[in-house]
A and B are shown apart, each in its own frame.
Chain A
């Protein structure tokens, strides 16, 4: 045996073991990503509801104080239950998040902890305690404090939830468009905190998310109210809540489409690879079509079954029908997987358009006839949780669209992954998935159950439905 062949055998063995370690790392990476995605997806469902629902509750509460109409109080009392339930699910899944930053992505805090840490700390300090403490007073303090203090507590919970969104979206946006940092002795530290917080994509992302929350809560309220109407629930609060929700949805959706467009233009400027994946553009082209449907193929780097409107993508993104859009091939090896981003974007936009149609049709019927047709009510019932689907699809577009980067241009996801054995991650992932599936089923069925129960309660004790016994006796 010649020396050369020995060497080649050795190289082969080492190469194989390299491939093996890389495969194991790959598994850990994918498992860590799936697990984190599962947790953050489950978590975001509930803040998406509570951020805006709390402002709706404040509106119901203030309308009752202004008009004295018990329908508004009734609407408040019904929706505060769903708020409390959603809030609890948001809190417990949020606790999980605070641990998983460290358990799944230790490299994240090691590399950009000096930026991420303070933003997360400010979220806990300024938002979490505020909302959690005043939630107790808001939920259970009705008979212990004056109406004025109760409204104040509701305002503080609403401010807390919105503030929480502000901090976490500032951090998330910084991960997409990092600015304001300096690199000192190999460490990334903040140079200018205002630039870190108000980074280029932050205003668009925050507005987009707050509007998404407004739409999710609107369609939830509209859907459940329509469900109660179809079940012949005569409580006057149902109509009041439905009207409020449909009008707010009809007002918010055009604003959301406008803000979403601005957000897209901002992404084109800072993350062109993500836009290329969203539009399914492989080769840089002028006058790119807007693809309504296609099947992107990562292997052959082309789309199958394309259906598109010529030149529209270029027009939307560059405001010029022959504008140039950079293709994925310009970012070979540095762009996200195309299919989830491409499909996610279409799901989000599709649901958005359905929201536009239903909410405008609903607002029109309410304005013209004072009520909605049963057919449209059924559509609203079907769209009760449409906000969830659109929000998740949108988050997948933007977060998967950032890959392979964890922090754009500064840190790759693969470099932040934890040394925890893949088998441990697989076990805990299974537990989480089972738990979350059970909880989502329990949540949705409980929301509908509460809607049914509200009706039977009202039939049972109509005369005394507005007199609450004191909840606590002072010492």
Chain B
């Protein structure tokens, strides 16, 4: 167990890379899935503008999912097999959702005018299905891929939690990227999604230590508990800040429109750290550790070198793309 031994630290590096990739995916595709969910309750002109706000980004956002699954596949092939076979049906459901929304995005503007509304409905449905099934899978993963009725019930709760979390970050994105009436509408959406997400976060935080003695010990042992207490504390502070910022935004136009998005991202990061702490060093909860699941060192090396060179470039041109499309969203024209 030392840092000079690649078979010790390489799997850890890949776990970190995979975790980072999942986190970035949840934030980035989270907001565009959230925008899709919110389109349920929008007029056609609003839908056009909402689509325009995510148009240049959604494709790259979804690539983070491919990278996450890809890293799981190449770095921890055995875990990939166990997790994805265990979640076979919800995985398929999610893929169907992602397919529907991905194609509806393009078809809505290109197919016959009479079909636009149908494609919009499919876009909303696809976004909801994808968000719900991701949350459902997270829930099932938290309870150790258990198949009991209570585990499935928890999966459903978790699915609804992720849907509201995506709706919140989607609304926060729209507050940032739109103005006037749509922005005001987005503030109300965010005010609606915020308490829903809080309830979900609370459920997951309570259930998580209760289903596993190991996780319970990890969180409530002395003296770590004092340090760990900062996680929920910070989360609560951020949630209050989101609430206050939404109030201010609804009253005055001068308020800073990026605060809700920034704080929601903060909540995502804290929730992620909490989950990561609970499960480390397991890739399959209580079953397979990061070292037992890892591929051969020689393959990890070759991917590691590529990742170190390419990842900064990816982050660089992703930043470039957000810079080019900065400011309020306008109509999309080729």
Contacts and interface: CB of A to CB of B under 8 A. Distances in A.
B160 to A, nearest CB: 23
A140 B332 contact: yes
Contacts of B72: 102
Interface stretch (B52-60, B164-172, B280-288): B52-60
Contact of A118 (B100, B302, B318): B302
Contacts of A424: 88-89
B210 interface: no
Contact of A117 (B69, B103, B299): B299
Chain B interface main SS type: helix
A91 to B, nearest CB: 6
Contacts of B60: 129, 132-133, 135-136
B55 A136 contact: yes
Contacts of A442: 103, 107, 111
A473 B91 CA distance: 39
Contacts of A134: 317, 321
Contacts of B44: none
B104 to A, nearest CB: 9
Contacts of A120: 70, 73-74
A58 B299 CA distance: 36
A473 B69 contact: no
Interface string A462-475: 00000011111111
Contacts of A103: 84-85, 88, 91
Given A96-B95, A124-B67, A435-B99, A475 B327 contact: yes
A144 B324 contact: yes
Interface size on A, as a range, is: 35 or more
B330 A472 contact: yes
Nearest to B330: A472
Interface of B: 52, 55-57, 59-60, 62-63, 65-67, 69-75, 77-78, 80-81, 84-85, 88-89, 91-92, 95-96, 98-100, 102-103, 105-107, 110-112, 295-296, 298-299, 302-303, 306-307, 310-311, 314, 317-318, 320-321, 324-334
Which 3 residue pairs across A and B have the least CB separation, nearest first?
A: A117-B74, A136-B56, A106-B81
29 contacts: A85-B110, A94-B66, A98-B73, A103-B85, A109-B74, A113-B73, A116-B74, A125-B67, A126-B306, A132-B59, A133-B320, A135-B60, A136-B56, A136-B59, A137-B56, A137-B321, A140-B332, A141-B324, A189-B296, A418-B81, A432-B96, A435-B99, A442-B107, A449-B112, A450-B110, A471-B333, A472-B325, A472-B330, A473-B330
